Structure 1
Amino acid sequence: MSTSNASTPASADRSLRGLLLLLATIAGVAVANIYYNQPLLDDFRQSFPHSASWVGAVPAVTQLGYAAGMLLLAPLGDRFDRRRLILLQIVGICVALVVATAAPTLSVLIVASLAIGVLATIAQQAVPFAAELAPPAERGHAVGTVMSGLLLGILLARTASGVIAEYFGWRAVFGASVVALLVLAVVIILRLPKSQPTSTLPYGKLLVSMWHLLVEHRALREASLTGAALFAAFSIFWSVLALLLAGAPFHLGPQAAGLFGIVGAAGAMAAPLAGKFADRRGPRAIITVSIVLVAISFVVFGASAKSIAGLVVGVIILDIGVQAAQISNQSRIYALKPDARSRVNTVYMVAYFIGGAIGSGVGAAVWPAFGWLGVSAAGLVFAGLAAWNHLALPARAAKV
């Protein structure tokens, strides 16, 4: 009896680790689909020469679709079994990918890309699922594990897409994704348990309730603005990096900028560690450290306009800071209302991606006017906004 009892916790730990790794794989394989098309624009231009001026619409509508999917599909995780939702979205995205693979015109590819973006929000079902499966004391680590998979998917998608397209053509990229998703669906059917719905609200009220959650929970508002500000800083750097590398003294092509994504994987690998620290020391303390790291990274960037080594160091610091803050913020908000984790996650992630869009826009405006030093200063400003929101506003509210 004692042996059996002693082995039960270890067996449960192994089972949880296996489920978290599966959810991390789901998140990474799903989210990668919104980034596969970014290195393929020149290939699209060659395949559809009569519509060449519109190839930029492919990644644009994919991102737009992802934002719409987060808002319209991700909250359903509170209303229905997340396992079933994940499988249904996999079927849908496979259909869209097959259409993209066989697209006879750019218009068809654009429509398929919009659908791919909407349905790639499978990743936003995986993260709340992890928070549901893990005990409260290990929630940060669980979220960090799944987020590491999501982040690796984001960072490595462009590299994988470029390699496949180089040898087999751009259509093979979408075809390979179909194969990967179908294999993943079989594993999900065999291994992933059902989740327990926590809401009976009809769809319309489910969407409206997200506004009420934002109004009700100051911590959700604070986490959302902090996350948005840090992702804006992150996006400023990544939206301008290729332009910096293309000029003197580097004269490097877009492939070099893509390789920085592999360097950034250091941040993704640090995500589970950040989650553990959030469990032990509390998420607010980790967020404070993360903001400091992001600020330091932009100081390093400002001094590295002519140094690849400096840029590499800055990227590692930036990614660790942003991802540690992301894990800690999500660990914090999932504890606010356990029966509304999908909706809470949706509120946070919509704000997060709005911040990213603002950051990309600021980077595009600052670069031609003020150069790399201006970009670095803008990143520092967003880190300062995150610090003010995270530290000054709560302190002021406590005095009222």
Structure 2
Amino acid sequence: MLSVTCALSVANVYLAQPLLKSMASSLHVQPGVTGMVVTATQIGYAAGLLFLVPLGDLCNRKHLIITQILLSAAALIVAGCSQHWGTLLSTMVLVGLMAVVVQVVVAYAATLAAPQQRGKTIGTITSGVVIGILLGRFLSGVIADVAGWRAVYLSSACLMLMMAGVLWKAIPSTQQPPLKASYRTLIRSVFGLFLTEPMLRKRGVLALLIFADFSMLWTAMVLPLSAQSLSHTQTGLFGLAGIAGALAAAKAGRWADRGWGQRTTGFSLALLTLSWLPIACAETSLLLLIVGVITLDFAVQAVHVTNQSLIFAARSDAQSRLAGAYMFFYSVGSALGAIAATQLYAVWGWQAVCLSGAAVSAAAFIFWSGSQK
């Protein structure tokens, strides 16, 4: 149930990626700035990570989760009805803000799991997250081809309302977390974690870099594919190639439980850098693009799950705050990657996107190598 919740919630962050061209046409904006839709969502997500997710250490988690899902549904309805570019961007900030319910659920699952199974549990939940991202992109394209991009957001709103009803019945109320503090003290402690937890700082930087890479691929990829006259549905199908990411999420958690976290990180970052070679062939070979997508998603999700396993093991009393602090780096990286990719493609084309992606991957590997000394 928690995996399904995460899948539906995280999909809302990525629904726009196959729809950027349609949004630009419908709202009369230049294709080069449509990446701002993804960036706006990630800005909201970043704010939610810092100011909403920590509430999981202070409030009844059932009530917090259901409230966020209901507010998410409301934001999606407004997004689907938006008639102006500014309105859509503002609403996407709210969509991202409420989508952080995913991290409330992940932290909750980590708290419930036995220490020796924490990595496996996080891997299982993250597999649901990855599948939600992939199916979100695919179904987004299918629905847009049939009924337009607005129907994508209205359909998602209906699913979120249904999910809220199911969770209200299915999830038992949890006891109030033992933390006794004001909201201001709680938020201050989140920023304090950046100073006191070296594992959070190191893994946070890696998250920023790998998800900048991830966002650069998935935000810009629709542009060369659309130039080849592929439909929304056909473009969305490429997301299914990333199912390897879900497999990596499940496996990497087990590897972290066995003490192989550093080894998994190094191998995955090297693989991430190499993945941009076949991705660079997107304009000439769709088969090579699929190979690159599989490799990149596998590498990113393997590092991501390893990061969370190591961070949560450091402080068992602050799971929600650690989740919010760590995922803040993820959101910043995703936002920067989205806007950079669309601008690079508009000015210099697909090869510039790929060169920049490879450079970011290499930087992540170099940073990890240096942190081992």
TM over 0.5: yes
Aligned to 1:3: none
Which amino acid counterpart does residue 3 of structure 2 have in structure 1? A
Q: Which secondary structure state, in structure 1, belongs to the residue aligned with residue 28 of structure 2?
A: helix
Asked whether 1:184 is paired with 2:163, we answer yes
What 5-or-longer segments of structure 2 have no aligned partner?
none
User: For the residues of structure 2 that align with 1:63 and 1:154, how far apart are their CA atoms?
Assistant: 14
State the shift of 1:254 in Å: 5.4
Query: 1:366-385 alignment to 2 at 5 Å?
Result: 366-367=344-345, 371-385=349-363
Q: Give 1:62's match in structure 2, choosing from 32, 38, 41.
A: 41
Deviation at 1:246, TM superposition (A): 4.7
Cα distance, 1:170 vs structure 2: 4.5
Q: Which of 211, 217, 235 is the matching residue for 1:257?
A: 235
Structure label with greater radius of gyration = 1
| 1:78–1:343 contact (8 Å) kept in structure 2 | yes
In the superposition, the TM-score normalised over structure 2's length comes to 0.87
2:5 pairs, out of 26, 30, 37, with 26
Aligned to 1:52: 28
Q: Is the 8 A contact 1:199 1:340 kept in 2?
A: no
**Aligned partner (choices 49, 52, 57) of residue 78 of structure 1:** 57
Confirm or deny that 1:219 pairs with 2:199. Answer: yes
**Taking structure 1 as reference, are residues 313 and 198 closer, same or farther at Cα in structure 2, changes over 3 Å only?**
farther
Q: Deviations over 1:98-151 (max 9, x none)?
A: 444555766655554433222121111111111111111111111111111112
Q: 2:186 maps to which residue?
A: 206
CA contact (8 A) 2:268 2:303 kept: yes
Listed as ranges, the matches of 1:108-257 within 5 Å are 110-196=89-175, 197-246=177-226, 250=228, 252=230, 255-257=233-235
Tell me: CA distance 1:118–1:289, structure 2 relative to 1, closer, same or farther (3 Å): same
How many angstroms apart in 2 are the aligned matches of 1:355 and 1:106? 24
Deviation at 1:289? 1.7
Cα gap change, 1:72 to 1:380, in 2 (>3 Å) = same
Matched to 1:80, the amino acid is C
Alpha-carbon contact 2:144-2:232 (below 8 Å) kept: no
Deviation at 1:82, TM superposition (A): 1.6
Distance 1:174 1:373, change over 3 A: closer
* Pick aligned residue for 2:253 from 251, 275, 284: 275
Residue 44 of structure 1, CA deviation: 5.6
The residue matched to 1:339 in structure 2 has which SS? coil
Shift of 1:377: 3.2
After superposition, the Cα gap between the structure-2 partners of 1:259 and 1:331, relative to the gap in structure 1 and judged at 3 Å, is: same
Given the alignment, which residue of 81, 92, 96 partners 2:71?
92
Aligned residue pairs total: 369
Greater relative contact order (Cα < 8 A, sep 6+): 2
CA shift, 1:224, in A, is: 0.6
Residues 141 and 236, structure 2, Cα contact 8 Å, conserved in 1: no
- Kindly provide the CA deviation profile for residues 196-246 of structure 1, in whole angstroms up to 9, marking residues without a partner as x: 514222111211212211111111111011121112222232233233335
- How many angstroms apart in 2 are the aligned matches of 1:243 and 1:169? 18
The corresponding residue for 2:14 is: 35
Deviation digits for residues 288-323 of structure 1, max 9, x if unmatched?
A: 121122122123334665221111111111100000
Quickly say closer, same or farther: Cα 1:366–1:85, change in 2 above 3 A.
same
Letter aligned with residue 226 of structure 1: L
Q: Is 2:245–2:298's contact at 8 Å kept on the other side of the alignment?
A: yes
1:91 Cα offset (Å) = 2.2
TM-score (norm 1): 0.82
Partner Cα separation in structure 1 for residue 197 and residue 247 of structure 2: 31
For residues 377 and 123 of structure 1, the distance between their equivalents in structure 2, rounded to whole angstroms, comes to: 32
**Partner-residue secondary structure (3-state), 2:172:** coil
After superposition, the Cα gap between the structure-2 partners of 1:133 and 1:53, relative to the gap in structure 1 and judged at 3 Å, is same
Cα distance in 1 between the residues matched to 2:266 and 2:22: 43
C-alpha spacing 1:134/1:69, structure 2 compared with 1 (3 Å)? same
The match for 1:310 is 288
Q: Percent of aligned pairs with the same residue?
A: 37
Q: Which runs of 5+ in 1 are unaligned?
A: 1-21, 396-400
Task: Give 1:77 shift.
Answer: 0.9
Q: What is the CA distance between 1:368 and its match in structure 2?
A: 5.9
Q: Distance in 1 between matches of 2:89 and 2:284?
A: 38
1:61 positional shift = 3.5
Decide whether the 8 Å contact of 2:19 with 2:232 is kept in 1: no
Sort the Cα spacing of 1:112 and 1:302 in 2 relative to 1 into closer, same or farther, 3 A: closer
Say whether the 8 Å CA contact 2:212–2:335 is kept in structure 1.
yes
Q: CA RMSD, aligned part only?
A: 2.9
Is the contact made by 2:137 and 2:236 (CA closer than 8 Å) also made in structure 1? yes
Structure 1 residues 107 and 390 mapped into 2: Cα distance closer, same or farther (>3 Å)?
A: closer
Give the deviation of 1:333 after TM superposition. Answer: 0.4
